Amino acid sequence: MKMNNSLILLYIEDDTSIREEMMDILELDFEHIYVAKNGQEGLEMFQKFHPDIIISDIQMPLMDGIRMSQEILSIDPDAKIILTTAFNEQNYLNKAKEIGIKAYINKPVNINELFKKIEALTAPKK
Amino acid sequence: MISSTSNNYYIRIFLLLFISTVLFSNNLTLNKVQKTWIEQNPEVEYTGDPNWLPFEAFDKNGKYIGIVSDHLKLVEQRTGLKFRHRVVKSWTESLQVATEGKVAVISGDVADKTLNQNFRPIEPYLINPIIIIMDKHQNYVEDLNALKDKKVAIIKDYGYTSELFKQYPKMTFIEVPDIQVGLNGVSNGLYDALLASDALASYSINQMELDNVKIVGKTAVVMEVTLFIDKKKPLLHSIINQAIKSIPSQDHEQIKNKWTHNHNNTHANTVLKWTVSILSTALILILFFTYLAIRKNRKHLAYMKTLVSAQEVGHLGSWQWNMISGELIWSDEVYRIFGEKPQAFPATYDRFMSYIPEEFHEGLEAAIDNAMRTKEPYEFDHLIRQKDGTIRSVREAGYVRFNDEGEPISMLGTVLDINSIVQAKSALRQNEELTELLEKFDTNVIASNTDLKGYITYASQAFCKVSGYGHDELIGQPHNIIRHPDTPVEKLKELWKTIQAGRTWKGELENRKKDGSAYWVESTISPIYNHSDEIVGYSSIRRDITNEKKVEELHQRLKTKSIQLQNLNAELEERIAQAVSLSKQKDHMLAQQSKLASMGEMIGNIAHQWRQPLNALSLLIQKQQIFYERGLLTAEKVQESVEKGMSLINKMSSTIDDFRDFFKPNKQKIYFDIKNAVDDTLELINAALYNQQIKLVLNLQENITILGYKNEFSQVILNLINNAKDVLIEKKIEDAEIRIDSIVENTTIKLKISDNGGGIPQNVIEHIFEPYFTTKEEGKGTGIGLYMSKMIIEENMQGKLYVNNSDRGAVFTISLNVNAKISDGQKEYENE
């Protein structure tokens, strides 16, 4: 699989192990990756770097993924967000749909599936 | 018989005159030796009883007074001796003084054993009968033995008591300390009778102003008052003995009367008595010469004899009192009535009064005064007491004669012995009492008589009343008119068989009133016999026992009820036992279910705990493939990945261990630190709270140790936090928060687990600790958690678990005893 490595990517995850593993993989294909440890940081980085795509966890301290997404969408309604969700986070998922988030991916994350989602979201509109 | 009486009469008068001359002469002749002895030993040490009036005593001023004292004064006058009175406080002290030889003379009862040892009595100068004192309504007592079954009191330790015991061996006496106690006892009914010397009794009754007791007779025992003289002083003995003997009997009598009758007005009395005494002597002389004159006239004498005999037959005595000359004449019968031999001594007013008990003096004198004033005859009934103590009733009647100037000149009167009349009256009164008793019987006792065939011949008022029949409705009717139809025939047969055989039947019978209602009686039926011992009818007395029957019935019912109750109780106990056993099974089941539920929750918690490392592992593994595909997988990369993977797996494994430990049951109570226990528990649930964005605030005091089952305690904490978490999630509380605070008060720690979920509704809060009570949606709660938590804290750890609402939300409080001391061994156990 070959990704458009010119894309700017924002990755938000509070768990260090997951973040490290994910970064090891993402760095293979993306040159511009920004990493945040919670929703607050994520929101600041979004405002600063205007990423093309955002991948975020939901349950995080300070500001969770849902609220952060809400804030981002209020700034840029076209912002492309992928949320990673667990089986027991159905409530959050419903809320995510309500605020207009179209993409999510179940945990444990399947990398191929993640890449497909990124590709689908970032494909130039014809 | 009549002539012999007359002859005796003369002899007696002569004798009397002679004796008087001898007695009045007062010739104490002491011999030379005696006189010399007196000159050399004029002072005689003397003591007596300090509290023995009228005999002797020391008055308020320490002056020695009484009959004995007056006698000693006469002895002093006659002999020239001087008695030095040794003042003592008690008779015991007197005896002691005498025994020690400190006195030469002591007064006492001639029978006194102590005194007789070292002293020799002179001839007794005062003989006092021991008399019987009883209630004033008591009739004359002839013989003390008649009081055999009565409570008879005697005064302790008197000289004559041993004589009483000897003479009345069948009697039992109650000993009292003194005359006052004895008299009061008779007066207030404690004793039936008291025995005491006549003088002491008369004096004390008067002093104590007792008006409900009287002297009713005398015993065969007398007390003889004497003076004891030191055995070593025989001369003194002879002097005092002679001196006492030289005192004329009038003086003895006078002294005695002064102290027993009218001791208040002694001087006036003495004068009067002497006057009367002299006058009576003159009177006797006149009488004597009169008789000599009368003797000449046979006719007159015959008339006199008839009169005397008539008087004797009729127990009527006559008297005549010349108020000018003071002359008083008694007929023979007056003497007889007074218990004396006819004309045995000259009659005097005082002598007359001495036969009359004190209590009648006033009345008699008032009657005479009245007669003088109104010039009407008087009549007065009173008692007289003969010298031997015999009491008789007499009717005194008399009238006063006046001269032309209206001055009283003489009195004539009669004394009628009405003892038999009084006895007849008493019989009449008894008859009246009997009648009264009969009336009481008739009105109060259910009684009836029947003839042989059972026809009613007598029905008491009480019977009429209880049966509801009129008297006329019962008389002549068969007795079975009141028979209750429920009465068993066998019982009636038995009744008739018994009474017809001449025996008495007793039993309970149910009777029927006129109005048909029933009443129960306890019946005693016996045959009535005529003079020929033939049964002529039957008599029945009955007692209404309806109420008792009712009580008995109630009692029976109560008994039955109580047995029923006992059975019920037993049954109840059995049921409770079953219920308890069921409850135990249920509890066991609940515990199991609770454990399962907790495990379910634990798995949920494990899922939370594992989610992140699982995700990380998953990425790690996928990374291997990606790196391999791109040719980037180096040995170093593999090595690094394996280490990371192993680290994640170890973390997950330790989570499993934590949960496994948590469910390992504790078999023994251990000491553990509360904060550690809570922290360990939070390890298990932290992830879940974190994931649900519930803030946990801990405010726990360190180093608080309690004794108990640590895992069970942790389960309770976990359960309470889980509940709070569930409520916060369910209610979608923003800024959800769970707080755990500890408050230590003395030996108690309170752990408060609170949330800001808004609290528990009132209708829920009271059932919250009941098993199977849940507010959660189906499948989410078992309703066991809080019940089990309460059981763990309250049953297993002797603490308290309760809930209340704060303004933020629910507050669950665990209250436990703090155990300060932890031994090392226990700590080790805790760490295992």
CB nearest B615 (choices: A28, A64, A109): A109
Query: What average pLDDT does range B379-403 have in this prediction?
Result: 84
B632 contacts on A by Cβ (under 8 Å): 28
Query: What average pLDDT does range B677-690 have in this prediction?
Result: 86
CB nearest B622 (choices: A20, A87, A111): A111
Asked if B693's CB is within 8 angstroms of A15's CB, the reply is no
Q: How far apart are CA B171 and CA B220, in angstroms?
A: 14
- pLDDT confidence band for A22 (50 / 70 / 90): very high
Asked if B691's CB is within 8 angstroms of A59's CB, the reply is yes
DSSP A4-26: -TTSEEEEE-S-HHHHHHHHHHH
> Which residue on chain A is closest to B622 by alpha carbon?
A111
- Going by their DSSP bridges, the two strands A32-36 and A8-12 should be labelled as parallel
Q: Higher model confidence: residue B305 or residue B591?
A: B591
- Nearest-Cα distance to chain B for A126, in Å, is 31
Work out the angle between the directed axes of helices B674-691 and B710-730 (0-180°, nearest 10).
Answer: 30
Asked if A28's CB is within 8 angstroms of B613's CB, the reply is no
In three-state secondary structure terms, B526 is strand
Q: Are B158 and B195 in contact (CB under 8 A)?
A: no
Most confident by average pLDDT, A90-94, B302-306, B794-798, B801-805:
B801-805
| Mean of per-residue pLDDT scores for chain B | 81
Asked if B630's CB is within 8 angstroms of A17's CB, the reply is no
A64 contacts on B by Cβ (under 8 Å): 693
Residue B184 amino acid letter = N
Q: How far apart are CA B613 and CA A17, in angstroms?
A: 7
**A18 in contact with chain B, both atoms CB, cutoff 8 A:** yes
Give residue B422's pLDDT.
Answer: 67
- Whether residue B766 is predicted with pLDDT greater than 50 in this model: the reply is yes
CB nearest A15 (choices: B607, B612, B632): B612
**A25 in contact with chain B, both atoms CB, cutoff 8 A:** yes
Q: Higher model confidence: residue B107 or residue B251?
A: B107
Q: Are A51 and A9 in contact (CB under 8 A)?
A: yes
As a whole number of angstroms, the longest Cα–Cα distance in chain B is 198
Give residue A106's pLDDT.
Answer: 87
Asked if A108's CB is within 8 angstroms of B619's CB, the reply is yes
CB nearest A25 (choices: B607, B619, B644): B619
Q: Locate B211 and state its tokens.
A: 């008006």
Q: How far apart are CA A6 and CA B766, in angstroms?
A: 65
Among A1, A5, A18, A113, the residue to mutate for chain B (most B Cβ within 10 A): A18
Give residue B23's pLDDT.
Answer: 41
- Whether residue B560 is predicted with pLDDT greater than 60 in this model: the reply is yes
Q: Are B223 and B256 in contact (CB under 8 A)?
A: no
Asked if B622's CB is within 8 angstroms of A25's CB, the reply is yes
> Tens of pLDDT along B603-612?
777 777 788 8
Asked if B612's CB is within 8 angstroms of A18's CB, the reply is yes
- pLDDT confidence band for B305 (50 / 70 / 90): low
Asked if B608's CB is within 8 angstroms of A28's CB, the reply is no
**A90 in contact with chain B, both atoms CB, cutoff 8 A:** no
A110 contacts on B by Cβ (under 8 Å): 618, 622
DSSP annotation of B692: T
Output the CA torsion A74→A80→A86→A89 (10° steps).
30
> Tens of pLDDT along B574-605?
888 888 888 777 777 766 776 676 677 777 77
Give residue B268's pLDDT.
Answer: 39
Q: How far apart are CA B584 and CA A66, in angstroms?
A: 50
B611 contacts on A by Cβ (under 8 Å): 86, 107
| Mean of per-residue pLDDT scores for chain A | 87
- Whether residue B264 is predicted with pLDDT greater than 50 in this model: the reply is no
> Which residue on chain B is closest to A84 by alpha carbon?
B615
Asked if A21's CB is within 8 angstroms of B644's CB, the reply is yes
Q: How far apart are CA B803 and CA B625, in angstroms?
A: 56
> Tens of pLDDT along A37-49?
999 999 999 999 9
Residues in B lying within 8 Å of A, measured between beta carbons? 604, 607-608, 611-620, 622-623, 626, 630, 632, 644, 648, 690-691, 693
Asked if A21's CB is within 8 angstroms of B608's CB, the reply is no
Write out the H or E segment, with its range, that includes residue B573.
Answer: helix B546-629
Phi and psi, residue B709, nearest 5°: -95, 110
B801-825 burial, b at 16+ Cβ within 10 Å, e below that, comes to: bebebeeebbbbbbbbebeeebeee
Q: Are B394 and B338 in contact (CB under 8 A)?
A: no
Give residue B273's pLDDT.
Answer: 47
- pLDDT confidence band for A3 (50 / 70 / 90): low
Scan for tokens 């007791």, then name that residue: B213
Give the range among B78-87, B777-786, B810-819 with minimum mean pLDDT: B777-786
**A6 in contact with chain B, both atoms CB, cutoff 8 A:** no
> Tens of pLDDT along B437-463?
777 888 888 989 998 888 998 888 889
**A88 in contact with chain B, both atoms CB, cutoff 8 A:** yes
Asked if B623's CB is within 8 angstroms of A21's CB, the reply is yes
> Which residue on chain A is closest to B620 by alpha carbon?
A21
- Nearest-Cα distance to chain B for A59, in Å, is 6
- pLDDT confidence band for B796 (50 / 70 / 90): confident
- Nearest-Cα distance to chain A for B725, in Å, is 15
> Tens of pLDDT along A80-89?
999 988 766 6
Query: What average pLDDT does range B772-779 have in this prediction?
Result: 58
- Whether residue B3 is predicted with pLDDT greater than 70 in this model: the reply is no
- Nearest-Cα distance to chain A for B622, in Å, is 7
> Tens of pLDDT along A63-80?
889 999 999 999 999 999
DSSP B153-189: EEETT-TTHHHHHHH-TT--EEEESSHHHHHHHHHTT
- CA torsion sign for B461, B467, B470, B476 is negative
Write out the H or E segment, with its range, that includes residue B229.
Answer: strand B213-230
- Number of A:B CB contacts under 8 A? 57
CB nearest B614 (choices: A25, A108, A111): A108
Q: Higher model confidence: residue B587 or residue B100?
A: B100
Asked if B619's CB is within 8 angstroms of A109's CB, the reply is yes
| Percent residues over pLDDT 90 in chain B | 16
- Nearest-Cα distance to chain B for A84, in Å, is 10
- Nearest-Cα distance to chain A for B597, in Å, is 18
**A98 in contact with chain B, both atoms CB, cutoff 8 A:** no
| Residues pairing with B410 in the sheet | B322, B401
A17 contacts on B by Cβ (under 8 Å): 612-613, 616, 644, 648
CB nearest A25 (choices: B614, B623, B644): B623
Single out the residue of B719, B693, B708 nearest to residue B602, CA to CA. B719
Asked if A59's CB is within 8 angstroms of B690's CB, the reply is yes
Contact residues for B271 (Cβ-Cβ < 8 A; gap 6+)? none
> Which residue on chain A is closest to B624 by alpha carbon?
A25
Helix, strand, coil distribution of chain B in percent, nearest 5: 50, 25, 25
Give residue B829's pLDDT.
Answer: 41
Q: Are B393 and B371 in contact (CB under 8 A)?
A: no
**A113 in contact with chain B, both atoms CB, cutoff 8 A:** no
> Tens of pLDDT along B115-148?
888 899 998 888 888 999 998 888 888 888 888 8
> Which residue on chain A is closest to B689 by alpha carbon?
A59
Residue B808 amino acid letter = R
- CA torsion sign for B3, B8, B11, B16 is negative
Residue A126 amino acid letter = K
- Whether residue B633 is predicted with pLDDT greater than 60 in this model: the reply is yes
Asked if B620's CB is within 8 angstroms of A108's CB, the reply is no
Single out the residue of B528, B430, B377, B474 nearest to residue B137, CA to CA. B430
Query: What average pLDDT does range B62-84 have in this prediction?
Result: 88
Q: How far apart are CA B714 and CA B716, in angstroms?
A: 5
Give residue B594's pLDDT.
Answer: 67
Among A13, A20, A21, the residue to mutate for chain B (most B Cβ within 10 A): A21
B107-136 burial, b at 16+ Cβ within 10 Å, e below that, comes to: bbbbbbeebeeebbbbebbbebbbbbbbee
Can you say whether residue B731 is alpha, beta or left, with left for phi > 0 and alpha for psi between -120 and 50 degrees?
alpha
41-70 of A, contacting B, C-beta below 8 A: 59, 61, 64
- Nearest-Cα distance to chain B for A26, in Å, is 10
- Nearest-Cα distance to chain B for A120, in Å, is 20
